[in-house]
Structure 1
């Protein structure tokens, strides 16, 4: 089972910052999941929320600021004990700083068709610049974005992020031509996982931080899990007894 660091290593460093991604790498995790918003000058910024308050302490929207303004902000507000400033990175900075990563799940927090077009164009161009076509999947819970990607025959694979499961997640992912299905762990059961895999979907499960749950999902046969604690996940999946993990 593959391991993806959630926002880098969210449980160990300020989320979606270069130190967080380096923490994942130090743990031996070479796959990461991260979130993207566009700046006012249409640069891809690595940040989860559409607003800045939670991670920087500053009021305002990401889309109201240029990339140059955003990278000057300190995004360690949610982990105040972190010793050094952590700027909001651009996706290009991440690609440039961490060439060792083998795969990226790029979750797009976009709704409108116009925003979908802009962000997909920006991702496609940047991925092409860094020759990462085989190392990226664009994921989203936005049906608008996934539908648009399908309509333009997007060159990059896509994935449905499903949290609630009001509709059949497997059917929804296939409807939009997805190759990944990123499921909330609460939606997982062996039958659903096997159904998805039989239809050619890679099943990635989030957010998994409990050792026993990691092992349970591994037994179910999920393809990958997304975790805040890459170091813990690596220890668990290398076979160390969960009862010894806090020793």
Structure 2
């Protein structure tokens, strides 16, 4: 069965990478993964927002990509070393902090693609998303973190009588096994690698290695798994990948993608 995260939205899917920060918004001081960035993506018409999860010193899951604050705020501390109140203060002039709970509740029609960035955040992420499992896809570079979050969501769901699990995209280990199976032309191994996976979210290239090829897309589709490519900002590249059969584009410019792929 198709997970609800995918239902009712036509492909190609546009996933707003860390929300949407237009050049004008950036000049005004708005940053990625802020409340304003998520709101801008929603306002532009994006059904999907891709974001990242870390846990603060006082246990609150926030949408933030980096382990530390230096790139976004100039503060050298790690996310895990600051409280949510301190982070709210730092983000106040940058579009506003958004916690995972706020994102899920303030944007009830948005479907979130959440990357679990820290091991200590996995259980908290899973617990938070359990009531919203129909509109959350969980991913991580680490399959271990991804499975921990899914396990926590499943436990909460079972305890409350909910049967829907979050959708999920494979981590590096899963992707490596899929690529090896495709290279070996073994559909049996592809099926094994994709068991329990709803989407493959990959870059078009990793260094000199081209990852996204028609053979990979076809193999994923044979097993009802979508292929989403990150991070694609040039309209010509978006169109080319969609013409190859890619199902979703993860982009910093959701406004541009929605126009280019209309």
TM-score (norm 1): 0.79
Partner of residue 107, structure 1: 115
RMSD, aligned α-carbons: 2.6
3-state secondary structure, aligned to 1:219 = helix
State the aligned residue count: 220
3-state secondary structure, aligned to 1:183 = strand
1:145 aligns with 2:145: yes
Q: Deviations over 1:61-117 (max 9, x none)?
A: 000112222122127xxxxxxxx532332111222322231x110001124xxx2xx
Partner of residue 79, structure 1: none
Partner of residue 97, structure 2: 88
Q: Distance in 2 between matches of 1:25 and 1:193?
A: 28
TM-score (norm 2): 0.75
Contact 2:146 2:171 in 1 (8 A): no
3-state secondary structure, aligned to 2:169 = strand
Of the three residues 118, 125, 128, the one matched with 1:126 is 128
Q: Distance in 2 between matches of 1:144 and 1:124?
A: 13
Cα deviation for residue 6 of structure 1 reads: 0.3
Pair 1:47–1:217, CA change in 2 (3 A): same
**Residue segments in structure 2 that go unaligned for 5+ positions in a row:** 1-11, 26-30, 155-164, 182-189, 206-210
Q: Distance in 1 between matches of 2:109 and 2:227?
A: 23
3-state secondary structure, aligned to 1:133 = helix
| Higher helix proportion (structure 1 or 2) | 2
54-63 vs 200-209, greater mean Cα deviation: 200-209
**Residue segments in structure 1 that go unaligned for 5+ positions in a row:** 76-83, 239-247
Contact 1:4 1:227 in 2 (8 A): yes
Q: Distance in 1 between matches of 2:147 and 2:128?
A: 21
